[in-house]
């Protein structure tokens, strides 16, 4: 029988609620297929890396994997709500039909299954059954579990919880295991049933008007019904297998040994770790996930690497934000000089938008506070490249903006900038790197100190020739200047910072890009992990 014909009698009892239940179920299957793929970090790194040829536009989309993951999650939440509400109406209409509250055809259909040679259409077998009993069935019970797990996962993913209570978010989000297990089992209850072929065939177009004659006349045998075969597992089995491989690879990396090369406490409560791992290879701007079993065997936290690929170690700068980082910093502060720290597991490296810095003729790097970390890797790599006799770089110009609230924060990488400043001056390439440091918070004492030493050749805060600005950049002015200096270039704008600044910079990229592709065009890129 065609699908439309098979559900004729089902639609007669529950009406449009059948479509309102089945359509969201189909959308749920498709979205549940998608939701795990954006968090398969190794798969994404493989796609955007050198193993598979991947264009810039596709890489930009892959860099929005977490945004896509969130959107798919919200769609799953919406479709779950619609699907659940539709089934509540279905249960109500099934119950009323079983009680004889509708026409003769609905009543007859609801009573099928009472005799041995009959199969039922209405899953409500007792007219006195209360509605809540539907939640004790396989479909109802798993539906409740799925919905509760989904509500907890979505609410714990709110920005305020992720930033302040990352551990809560991390643990609750692993309810996805229960969610997918319930999802696979959910359809086994086969609550929604449809007509199956019989011999002789039951033609509903003829028989629907004479339900009391079913089984009594040859042209209208008693119709037979069966639940549909569960299909959700076919949609999610592939992504679940890929994710299982992802977790297996993470576990293997968890077992690999990581040694401490150096532990340094930086100003503003920032910890620098220089680590060594056998076979570890990185590119500029990439990030890793770190796990410290002494703090938690399950928690993994992302950190952008600040070292260059040319170095024989990899480093991260960790700011004290949240319970995990606070415990790690306290633990390492108490170590004696030169001692090895607690066991550390490293997963990665993984690709980010910052990998594409050298693919543009002109690059604009914008870092906020500790968000300067990916650009430290880039600047170090530039220094190493310029130590070579003839560095091969497509990039002809780099603009670097660093926004900090505290003067101590500038000490993190001021030494690196000083070395780069001397290197560029020695090669007569002072114009290759233009950097602008902005201090967004200061007091009266600092202002007085700057005023006294204003005539010095180097900056009071950083010791660099480039003086520190106070306040925030006027982005319209900066973009106009960049466009004026580079009238025929593709400019990549890279940000590691807050979402509010991301929206501003993205708008400026659109505003100051020329419609003529041969002229200046800005391309926005943001770190997402």
Instruction: Identify the pLDDT of residue 449.
Output: 43
Instruction: Identify the pLDDT of residue 443.
Output: 55
Domain range annotation of the chain: 3-240, 258-350, 354-412+427-500+512-526
CA proximity to 516, closest of 493, 492, 486, 488: 488
* Total residue count of the chain as it appears in this document: 529
In the predicted model, what is the mean pLDDT of residues 501-527? 88
What percentage of the chain has pLDDT greater than the value 90?
24
Q: What is the 3-state secondary structure (H, E, C) of 451-488?
A: HHCCCCCCCCCCCCCCCCEECCCCHHHHHHHHHHHCCC
- Which tops the pLDDT comparison, 283 or 424? 283
Give the list of residues 6+ apart from residue 212 with CB closer than 8 angstroms, or none: 104, 108
Q: Where are the alpha helices (DSSP H) in 256-405?
A: 323-333, 373-387
CA proximity to 424, closest of 456, 455, 457, 400: 400
- pLDDT over 80 (residue 59): no
Instruction: Identify the pLDDT of residue 452.
Output: 41
Give the list of residues 6+ apart from residue 113 with CB closer than 8 angstroms, or none: 119, 120, 121, 122, 125
Q: What is the DSSP letter of 136?
A: G
pLDDT band, very low/low/confident/very high, at 451 (cuts 50, 70, 90): very low
DSSP state string for 388-430? SSS---S--EEEEEEEESSSGGGGGTHHHHHHHHHHHHHTT-T
In the predicted model, what is the mean pLDDT of residues 56-69? 80
- Is residue 314 within 8 A of residue 272, CB to CB? The reply is no
Window from 49-58, 117-126, 344-353, 370-379 with minimum mean pLDDT: 49-58
Q: Which residues pair with 347 in a beta bridge?
A: 289
Summarize pLDDT for 167-213 with one digit per residue, the tens: 788 889 999 999 999 999 988 878 888 889 888 888 888 888 888 88
- pLDDT over 60 (residue 390): no
pLDDT band, very low/low/confident/very high, at 508 (cuts 50, 70, 90): very high
Residue 509 DSSP SS3: helix
Instruction: Identify the pLDDT of residue 170.
Output: 85
- Which tops the pLDDT comparison, 236 or 4? 236
- pLDDT over 80 (residue 129): no
279 burial level (CB within 10 Å; 0-12, 13-18, 19+): exposed
Instruction: Identify the pLDDT of residue 372.
Output: 75
Dist CA 498 CA 398 (whole Å): 21
Window from 72-81, 160-169, 383-392, 487-496 with minimum mean pLDDT: 383-392
Pairing of strands 270-277, 258-266: antiparallel
- Is residue 275 within 8 A of residue 262, CB to CB? The reply is no
Instruction: Identify the pLDDT of residue 349.
Output: 87
- pLDDT over 90 (residue 136): no
- Which tops the pLDDT comparison, 155 or 353? 155
Summarize pLDDT for 222-243 with one digit per residue, the tens: 998 998 888 889 999 999 999 9
- pLDDT over 60 (residue 51): no
pLDDT band, very low/low/confident/very high, at 448 (cuts 50, 70, 90): very low
Q: Phi and psi for 491 in degrees, rounded to 5?
A: -110, 120
- Which tops the pLDDT comparison, 360 or 408? 360
How many other β-carbons are positioned within 10 Å of the β-carbon of residue 178? Answer: 17
pLDDT band, very low/low/confident/very high, at 505 (cuts 50, 70, 90): very high
- Highest-scoring range by mean pLDDT, 56-70, 188-202, 462-476: 188-202
* The two three-digit tokens of residue 521, written as one number: 């065009």
How many other β-carbons are positioned within 10 Å of the β-carbon of residue 335? Answer: 13
Mean pLDDT, rounded, of the chain: 83
Instruction: Identify the pLDDT of residue 463.
Output: 54
pTM (2 d.p.): 0.77
Instruction: Identify the pLDDT of residue 518.
Output: 82
pLDDT band, very low/low/confident/very high, at 444 (cuts 50, 70, 90): low
Chain Cα centroid distance, residue 448: 46
Q: Give the CATH number of domain 258-350.
A: 2.40.30.10
- pLDDT over 50 (residue 251): yes
Dist CA 293 CA 291 (whole Å): 6
In the predicted model, what is the mean pLDDT of residues 426-450? 67
Please report where in the chains the tokens 């990229």 appear, as a residue. Answer: 509
Phi-psi region of 62 (alpha: psi -120 to 50; beta: other; left: phi over 0): alpha
Summarize pLDDT for 396-419 with one digit per residue, the tens: 888 988 888 766 655 666 666 777
CA proximity to 379, closest of 417, 408, 411, 410: 417
Q: Give the CATH number of domain 354-412+427-500+512-526.
A: 3.40.50.80
46 HSE (CA, 13 A, CB side) = 8
- pLDDT over 50 (residue 453): no
- Is residue 363 within 8 A of residue 494, CB to CB? The reply is yes
In the predicted model, what is the mean pLDDT of residues 295-314? 86
- Is residue 35 within 8 A of residue 76, CB to CB? The reply is yes
293 HSE (CA, 13 A, CB side) = 10
138 HSE (CA, 13 A, CB side) = 13
In the predicted model, what is the mean pLDDT of residues 303-327? 86
Instruction: Identify the pLDDT of residue 36.
Output: 94
- Is residue 460 within 8 A of residue 453, CB to CB? The reply is yes
- Is residue 97 within 8 A of residue 120, CB to CB? The reply is no
């Amino acid at each position: 029988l065609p699908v439309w014909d098979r559900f004729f009698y089902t639609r007669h009892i529950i009406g449009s609620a059948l479509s309102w239940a089945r359509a969201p179920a189909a959308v749920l299957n498709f979205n549940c297929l998608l939701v795990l793929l954006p968090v398969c970090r190794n798969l994404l790194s493989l796609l955007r890396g050198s193993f598979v040829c991947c264009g810039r536009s596709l890489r930009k989309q892959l860099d929005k994997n977490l945004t896509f993951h969130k959107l798919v999650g919200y769609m799953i939440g919406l479709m779950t709500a619609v699907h659940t509400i539709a089934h509540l109406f279905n249960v109500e209409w099934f119950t009323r039909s079983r009680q004889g509250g509708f026409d003769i055809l609905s009543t007859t259909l609801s009573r099928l299954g009472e005799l041995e040679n009959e199969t039922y259409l209405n899953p409500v077998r007792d007219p006195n059954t209360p509605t809540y009993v539907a939640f004790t069935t396989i479909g109802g019970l798993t539906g409740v579990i799925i919905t509760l797990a989904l509500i907890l996962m979505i609410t714990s993913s709110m920005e305020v919880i992720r930033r302040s209570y990352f551990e809560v978010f991390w643990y609750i989000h692993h309810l996805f295991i229960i969610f997918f297990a319930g999802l696979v089992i959910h359809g086994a209850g086969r609550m929604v049933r449809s007509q199956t072929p019989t011999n002789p065939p039951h033609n509903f177009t003829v028989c629907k008007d004479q339900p009391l004659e079913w089984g009594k006349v040859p042209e209208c045998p008693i119709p037979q019904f069966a639940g549909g075969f569960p299909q959700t597992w076919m949609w999610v089995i592939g992504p679940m297998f890929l994710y299982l491989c992802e977790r297996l690879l993470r576990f293997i990396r968890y077992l690999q040994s990581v040694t401490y090369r150096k532990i340094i406490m930086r100003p503003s409560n920032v910890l620098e770790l220089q680590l060594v791992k056998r076979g570890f290879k990185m590119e500029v701007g990439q990030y890793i996930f770190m796990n410290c079993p002494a703090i938690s065997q399950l928690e993994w936290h992302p950190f952008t690497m600040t070292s260059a690929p040319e170095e024989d170690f990899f480093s991260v700068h960790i700011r004290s934000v949240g319970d995990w980082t606070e415990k790690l910093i306290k633990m390492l502060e108490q170590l004696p000089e030169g001692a090895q720290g607690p066991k550390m597991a490293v997963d990665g490296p993984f690709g980010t938008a910052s990998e594409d810095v050298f693919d543009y003729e002109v690059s604009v790097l914008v870092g906020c506070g500790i968000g300067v970390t990916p650009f430290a890797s880039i600047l170090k790599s530039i220094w190493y490249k310029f130590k070579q006799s003839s560095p091969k770089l497509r990039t002809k110009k780099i603009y670097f903006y660093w926004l900090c609230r505290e003067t101590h924060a500038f000490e993190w990488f001021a030494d690196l900038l000083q070395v780069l400043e001397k290197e560029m001056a020695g090669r007569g390439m002072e114009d290759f790197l233009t950097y602008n440091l902005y201090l967004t918070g200061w007091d009266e004492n600092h202002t007085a100190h700057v005023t006294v030493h204003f005539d010095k050749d180097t900056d009071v805060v950083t010791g660099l020739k480039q003086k520190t600005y106070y306040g925030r950049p006027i982005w319209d002015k900066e973009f106009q200047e960049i466009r004026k200096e580079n009238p025929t270039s593709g400019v990549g704008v890279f940000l590691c910072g807050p979402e509010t600044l991301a929206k501003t910079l993205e708008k400026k990229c659109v505003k100051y890009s020329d419609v003529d592709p041969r002229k200046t065009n800005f391309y926005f890129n943001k770190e997402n992990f």
